[in-house]
Structure 1
Amino acid sequence: MFLIPDISRSIIGEVHAYQFYQRLAELAPNEQNRQTILRIQRDEAKHYRWFTMIMSNLGGQQPQIPTGEVPMTFREGVRTAINHELEAAAFYQDVAYRATDRPIEMHFMHAMHDEQRHASLFQLMLSSL
Protein backbone atom coordinates (compact mmCIF):
# COMPACT_ATOMS: atom_id res chain seq x y z
CA MET A 1 0.00 0.00 0.00
CA PHE A 2 1.20 3.51 -0.78
CA LEU A 3 1.15 4.62 2.89
CA ILE A 4 3.62 2.01 4.19
CA PRO A 5 6.71 4.26 3.90
CA ASP A 6 4.84 7.03 5.75
CA ILE A 7 3.72 4.63 8.46
CA SER A 8 7.33 3.42 8.84
CA ARG A 9 8.46 7.03 9.20
CA SER A 10 5.73 7.58 11.79
CA ILE A 11 6.80 4.56 13.83
CA ILE A 12 10.43 5.70 13.83
CA GLY A 13 9.37 9.22 14.81
CA GLU A 14 7.34 7.97 17.75
CA VAL A 15 10.21 5.83 19.06
CA HIS A 16 12.57 8.79 18.76
CA ALA A 17 10.08 11.08 20.53
CA TYR A 18 9.65 8.56 23.36
CA GLN A 19 13.42 8.34 23.87
CA PHE A 20 13.86 12.11 23.55
CA TYR A 21 11.19 12.75 26.20
CA GLN A 22 12.74 10.22 28.55
CA ARG A 23 15.91 12.32 28.59
CA LEU A 24 14.00 15.62 28.64
CA ALA A 25 12.05 14.48 31.72
CA GLU A 26 15.36 13.77 33.45
CA LEU A 27 16.49 17.33 32.67
CA ALA A 28 13.22 18.95 33.83
CA PRO A 29 13.79 21.73 36.38
CA ASN A 30 10.66 20.85 38.38
CA GLU A 31 8.15 18.10 39.01
CA GLN A 32 5.32 19.80 37.12
CA ASN A 33 7.35 19.94 33.91
CA ARG A 34 8.55 16.38 34.44
CA GLN A 35 4.99 15.08 34.85
CA THR A 36 3.79 16.96 31.75
CA ILE A 37 6.62 15.47 29.69
CA LEU A 38 5.85 11.97 30.98
CA ARG A 39 2.17 12.40 29.98
CA ILE A 40 3.29 13.49 26.50
CA GLN A 41 5.62 10.49 26.40
CA ARG A 42 2.66 8.17 27.15
CA ASP A 43 0.82 9.67 24.16
CA GLU A 44 3.84 8.93 21.96
CA ALA A 45 3.77 5.30 23.15
CA LYS A 46 0.06 5.17 22.28
CA HIS A 47 0.78 6.49 18.77
CA TYR A 48 3.53 3.89 18.38
CA ARG A 49 1.06 1.12 19.26
CA TRP A 50 -1.48 2.49 16.76
CA PHE A 51 1.03 2.80 13.94
CA THR A 52 2.60 -0.62 14.52
CA MET A 53 -0.91 -2.16 14.54
CA ILE A 54 -1.72 -0.39 11.25
CA MET A 55 1.58 -1.57 9.73
CA SER A 56 0.89 -5.13 10.84
CA ASN A 57 -2.67 -5.02 9.45
CA LEU A 58 -1.33 -3.82 6.10
CA GLY A 59 1.24 -6.63 6.01
CA GLY A 60 4.20 -4.26 6.15
CA GLN A 61 7.49 -4.90 7.93
CA GLN A 62 8.27 -3.05 11.13
CA PRO A 63 11.09 -0.60 10.39
CA GLN A 64 14.60 -0.71 11.78
CA ILE A 65 14.89 2.11 14.32
CA PRO A 66 18.09 4.16 13.98
CA THR A 67 19.44 6.01 16.99
CA GLY A 68 17.69 9.33 17.56
CA GLU A 69 18.93 12.56 19.07
CA VAL A 70 18.60 13.40 22.76
CA PRO A 71 18.58 16.86 24.34
CA MET A 72 21.64 18.21 26.12
CA THR A 73 19.85 21.00 27.98
CA PHE A 74 16.26 21.43 29.02
CA ARG A 75 15.66 24.71 27.16
CA GLU A 76 17.21 23.39 23.94
CA GLY A 77 15.21 20.18 24.31
CA VAL A 78 11.92 22.02 24.71
CA ARG A 79 12.63 24.13 21.62
CA THR A 80 13.47 21.02 19.63
CA ALA A 81 10.33 19.28 20.95
CA ILE A 82 8.11 22.15 19.77
CA ASN A 83 9.55 21.91 16.26
CA HIS A 84 9.29 18.11 16.15
CA GLU A 85 5.70 18.13 17.42
CA LEU A 86 4.60 20.71 14.84
CA GLU A 87 6.36 18.81 12.04
CA ALA A 88 4.75 15.54 13.16
CA ALA A 89 1.31 17.17 13.32
CA ALA A 90 1.62 18.46 9.75
CA PHE A 91 2.92 15.09 8.52
CA TYR A 92 0.14 13.14 10.26
CA GLN A 93 -2.47 15.47 8.81
CA ASP A 94 -1.07 14.82 5.34
CA VAL A 95 -1.12 11.05 5.88
CA ALA A 96 -4.69 11.21 7.20
CA TYR A 97 -5.85 13.15 4.14
CA ARG A 98 -4.27 10.57 1.81
CA ALA A 99 -5.59 7.54 3.68
CA THR A 100 -8.35 5.64 1.93
CA ASP A 101 -9.14 3.55 5.01
CA ARG A 102 -11.30 5.32 7.61
CA PRO A 103 -9.63 3.77 10.72
CA ILE A 104 -6.17 4.74 9.43
CA GLU A 105 -7.40 8.25 8.71
CA MET A 106 -8.87 8.56 12.21
CA HIS A 107 -5.76 7.26 14.00
CA PHE A 108 -3.59 9.76 12.16
CA MET A 109 -6.04 12.60 12.81
CA HIS A 110 -6.09 11.76 16.54
CA ALA A 111 -2.29 11.64 16.57
CA MET A 112 -2.17 14.99 14.75
CA HIS A 113 -4.37 16.60 17.39
CA ASP A 114 -2.22 15.11 20.17
CA GLU A 115 0.94 16.47 18.55
CA GLN A 116 -0.58 19.95 18.24
CA ARG A 117 -1.54 19.82 21.93
CA HIS A 118 1.98 18.68 22.83
CA ALA A 119 3.48 21.62 20.94
CA SER A 120 1.23 23.99 22.90
CA LEU A 121 2.25 22.41 26.20
CA PHE A 122 5.92 22.74 25.31
CA GLN A 123 5.39 26.37 24.24
CA LEU A 124 3.86 27.10 27.65
CA MET A 125 6.77 25.33 29.29
CA LEU A 126 9.28 27.39 27.31
CA SER A 127 7.53 30.65 28.20
CA SER A 128 7.88 29.86 31.89
CA LEU A 129 11.65 29.26 31.76
Structure 2
Amino acid sequence: MYYQPFSYENNAHDARPLQQVLREIAKAINDEFQAIHYYTRLAELAPSNQFRQMILGIRQDEIKHFHWFSRAYHELTSKYPPITLGVQLPGSFKRGVHDSIKDEQETVPLYHKIASQVQNQQISQRFLRAAADEQRHAQIFSQMAAGI
Protein backbone atom coordinates (compact mmCIF):
# COMPACT_ATOMS: atom_id res chain seq x y z
CA MET A 1 0.00 0.00 0.00
CA TYR A 2 1.29 3.44 -0.89
CA TYR A 3 1.78 5.74 2.11
CA GLN A 4 1.85 9.52 1.68
CA PRO A 5 3.35 11.34 4.68
CA PHE A 6 1.02 13.80 6.35
CA SER A 7 1.82 17.31 5.19
CA TYR A 8 0.20 20.54 6.26
CA GLU A 9 1.22 22.25 3.04
CA ASN A 10 -0.27 19.66 0.64
CA ASN A 11 -3.73 19.14 2.11
CA ALA A 12 -6.48 21.73 2.31
CA HIS A 13 -8.09 19.82 5.17
CA ASP A 14 -4.96 20.20 7.29
CA ALA A 15 -5.58 23.80 8.35
CA ARG A 16 -7.67 22.62 11.31
CA PRO A 17 -5.07 20.22 12.77
CA LEU A 18 -2.36 22.83 12.27
CA GLN A 19 -4.44 25.48 14.03
CA GLN A 20 -5.06 23.08 16.92
CA VAL A 21 -1.37 22.29 17.30
CA LEU A 22 -0.53 25.99 17.14
CA ARG A 23 -3.04 26.67 19.95
CA GLU A 24 -1.41 23.92 22.01
CA ILE A 25 2.07 25.30 21.34
CA ALA A 26 0.85 28.80 22.29
CA LYS A 27 -0.54 27.31 25.54
CA ALA A 28 2.80 25.61 26.22
CA ILE A 29 4.63 28.91 25.62
CA ASN A 30 2.36 30.75 28.02
CA ASP A 31 2.63 27.98 30.62
CA GLU A 32 6.43 28.21 30.44
CA PHE A 33 6.31 32.01 30.65
CA GLN A 34 4.15 31.82 33.76
CA ALA A 35 6.33 29.11 35.28
CA ILE A 36 9.42 31.31 34.90
CA HIS A 37 7.78 34.05 36.96
CA TYR A 38 6.19 31.62 39.41
CA TYR A 39 9.51 29.92 40.13
CA THR A 40 11.26 33.26 40.55
CA ARG A 41 8.84 34.03 43.39
CA LEU A 42 8.99 30.48 44.77
CA ALA A 43 12.79 30.71 44.96
CA GLU A 44 12.43 33.92 46.97
CA LEU A 45 10.17 32.06 49.41
CA ALA A 46 12.48 29.05 49.73
CA PRO A 47 13.43 28.27 53.35
CA SER A 48 16.96 27.18 52.42
CA ASN A 49 19.64 27.90 49.88
CA GLN A 50 19.52 24.27 48.75
CA PHE A 51 15.81 24.54 47.83
CA ARG A 52 16.41 27.95 46.25
CA GLN A 53 19.16 26.56 44.00
CA MET A 54 17.00 23.59 42.99
CA ILE A 55 14.13 25.90 42.02
CA LEU A 56 16.43 28.24 40.11
CA GLY A 57 17.75 25.22 38.17
CA ILE A 58 14.18 24.27 37.26
CA ARG A 59 13.53 27.89 36.29
CA GLN A 60 16.50 27.74 33.89
CA ASP A 61 14.93 24.71 32.21
CA GLU A 62 11.64 26.61 31.87
CA ILE A 63 13.48 29.52 30.22
CA LYS A 64 15.05 27.06 27.78
CA HIS A 65 11.63 25.53 27.01
CA PHE A 66 10.11 28.98 26.53
CA HIS A 67 12.78 29.81 23.93
CA TRP A 68 12.46 26.43 22.18
CA PHE A 69 8.68 26.66 21.94
CA SER A 70 8.67 30.31 20.89
CA ARG A 71 11.15 29.48 18.14
CA ALA A 72 8.99 26.53 17.04
CA TYR A 73 5.89 28.72 16.90
CA HIS A 74 7.77 31.27 14.83
CA GLU A 75 9.10 28.58 12.47
CA LEU A 76 5.56 27.29 11.90
CA THR A 77 3.80 30.66 11.58
CA SER A 78 6.45 33.32 10.85
CA LYS A 79 4.83 35.17 13.77
CA TYR A 80 5.67 35.59 17.40
CA PRO A 81 3.47 33.78 19.90
CA PRO A 82 0.84 35.66 21.89
CA ILE A 83 1.94 36.00 25.53
CA THR A 84 -0.61 36.34 28.30
CA LEU A 85 0.47 38.32 31.35
CA GLY A 86 -1.03 37.94 34.81
CA VAL A 87 0.69 35.14 36.67
CA GLN A 88 -0.82 34.02 39.98
CA LEU A 89 2.27 33.88 42.22
CA PRO A 90 2.61 31.53 45.19
CA GLY A 91 1.63 32.90 48.59
CA SER A 92 3.60 30.33 50.56
CA PHE A 93 6.48 28.02 49.83
CA LYS A 94 4.62 24.87 50.84
CA ARG A 95 1.54 25.67 48.74
CA GLY A 96 3.76 26.70 45.83
CA VAL A 97 5.67 23.42 45.89
CA HIS A 98 2.47 21.35 45.98
CA ASP A 99 0.94 23.35 43.12
CA SER A 100 4.18 22.98 41.16
CA ILE A 101 4.08 19.19 41.44
CA LYS A 102 0.57 19.15 39.99
CA ASP A 103 1.39 21.63 37.21
CA GLU A 104 4.56 19.82 36.15
CA GLN A 105 2.74 16.47 36.02
CA GLU A 106 -0.16 17.90 34.00
CA THR A 107 2.21 19.40 31.43
CA VAL A 108 3.78 16.10 30.36
CA PRO A 109 0.81 14.71 28.37
CA LEU A 110 0.37 18.01 26.50
CA TYR A 111 4.02 18.02 25.44
CA HIS A 112 3.79 14.39 24.31
CA LYS A 113 0.66 15.21 22.31
CA ILE A 114 2.33 18.16 20.59
CA ALA A 115 5.44 16.07 19.84
CA SER A 116 3.30 13.43 18.15
CA GLN A 117 1.44 16.00 16.03
CA VAL A 118 4.20 18.20 14.61
CA GLN A 119 5.92 17.26 11.36
CA ASN A 120 9.25 18.90 12.17
CA GLN A 121 11.47 16.32 13.87
CA GLN A 122 13.54 18.91 15.73
CA ILE A 123 10.43 20.53 17.19
CA SER A 124 9.04 17.13 18.13
CA GLN A 125 12.31 16.16 19.87
CA ARG A 126 12.35 19.42 21.83
CA PHE A 127 8.84 18.79 23.15
CA LEU A 128 9.80 15.25 24.14
CA ARG A 129 12.91 16.56 25.91
CA ALA A 130 10.80 19.20 27.68
CA ALA A 131 8.33 16.49 28.76
CA ALA A 132 11.19 14.53 30.31
CA ASP A 133 12.40 17.71 32.05
CA GLU A 134 8.89 18.33 33.42
CA GLN A 135 8.74 14.78 34.82
CA ARG A 136 12.11 15.36 36.50
CA HIS A 137 10.87 18.68 37.89
CA ALA A 138 7.82 16.96 39.41
CA GLN A 139 10.17 14.49 41.14
CA ILE A 140 12.34 17.30 42.48
CA PHE A 141 9.31 19.16 43.82
CA SER A 142 8.03 15.93 45.38
CA GLN A 143 11.35 15.53 47.18
CA MET A 144 11.07 19.14 48.39
CA ALA A 145 7.52 18.52 49.62
CA ALA A 146 8.75 15.57 51.64
CA GLY A 147 11.42 17.78 53.21
CA ILE A 148 9.21 20.66 54.33
Which interval holds the TM-score relative to the shorter structure? Answer: over 0.9
* Mapped pair 1:117 → 2:136: yes
Instruction: Encode CA deviations 1:89-110: one digit per residue, 9 max, x unaligned.
Output: 1210111122222111101000
Structure 1: stretches of 5+ with no match in the other structure = none
For residues 71-116 of structure 1, give each alpha carbon's deviation from its aligned partner in whole angstroms, at most 9, with x where no partner exists: 0000000000000100111210111122222111101000000000
**Counterpart pick for 1:103 among 122, 134, 144:** 122
Q: Matches of 2:124 and 2:95 in 1, distance apart? A: 33
Matched, 1:85 2:107: no
- Counterpart among 25, 49, 65 of residue 84 in structure 2: 65
Aligned-pair identity (%) = 36
Instruction: Choose the corresponding residue for 2:31, options 13, 16, 41.
Output: 13
Greater shift, 33-42 or 56-65, is seen at 56-65
Residue 38 of structure 1 aligns with an amino acid whose one-letter code is L
Measured against aligned partners, the alpha-carbon deviations of 1:18-61 in whole angstroms (never above 9, x if no partner) come to 00000000000000000000000000000000001001111244
For 1:21, the aligned partner's letter is Y
User: TM-score by structure 1 length?
Assistant: 0.96
Q: Give how far 1:66 is off.
A: 2.8
CA distance in 2, matches of 1:100, 1:62: 19
CA distance in 1, matches of 2:38, 2:23: 22
Highest CA radius of gyration, 1 or 2? Answer: 2
Q: CA RMSD in A?
A: 1.0
More divergent stretch after superposition (55-64 vs 8-17): 55-64
- TM-score, normalising length: structure 2: 0.84
Matches of 1:51 and 1:94 in 2, distance apart? 14
How many aligned positions are there?
129
Which segment is superposed worse, 109-118 or 97-106? Answer: 97-106
Which structure 2 segments of 5+ residues have no match?
A: 1-17
Distance 1:61 1:43 in 2: 21
